[in-house]
Amino acid sequence: MELILIKNVEKLGYTDDIVNVKPGYALNYLIPQGLAVSKNTANLAALAGRNKAREKREAQLLVQINEISSRLQAATLKIGAKVGTTGKIFGSVSAYHVAEAIKTQAAVEVDRRKINIVEGEVKALGNYTAEVGLGSSHKVTVAFEVVAE
């Protein structure tokens, strides 16, 4: 029996996939739980409409990601830190500090959990790089400089 999945089903498929399952599994579990609908012309037309809308949303999202990416690559971020006499900073510069610098200097809000500093811990003045995740598979490399306050 062929069905169109409405929600992700573990070990079977993802939303909007067309799957072939045994009739008992379909009639006793998938359809009553609201996880799938039968494959007929009306449901196929609805699936086509959902796919078209999803492609349009993804195209708009890709344009926004490209704009944010170009803005981040063009910006030169400077992060101020308190420095001791030996040139080492007190504490360290973390993803939180990079996110705040991006917010104030590039006017882009980025989740700090999606920022990965390539060099690891930043405990001295100098130039560093960070990878910023913009969605599922889009990453932007951002250069930043740690300067003395």
Positions of E strands within 22-76? 36-38
Domain 69-148, architecture per CATH: Roll (3.10)
Asked if pLDDT for residue 136 goes beyond 80, the answer is: no
Asked if pLDDT for residue 135 goes beyond 90, the answer is: no
Taking 3-state DSSP, the helix, strand and coil percentages for the chain, each rounded to the nearest 5, stand at 40, 30, 30
Ramachandran class of 46: left when φ > 0, alpha when ψ lies in -120 to 50, beta otherwise: alpha
2-65 CATH: 3.40.5.10
Residue-wise pLDDT tens digits, 12-67: 999 999 999 999 999 999 999 999 999 999 999 999 999 999 899 888 888 888 88
The whole-number pLDDT of residue 49 equals: 95
Q: In the chain, list all ranges with CATH 3.40.5.10.
A: 2-65
Residue-wise pLDDT tens digits, 58-114: 888 888 888 888 888 888 889 998 988 887 888 888 999 999 998 898 888 888 898
**Residues 67, 74 contacting (CB under 8 angstroms):** no
Q: In the chain, list all ranges with CATH 3.10.430.100.
A: 69-148
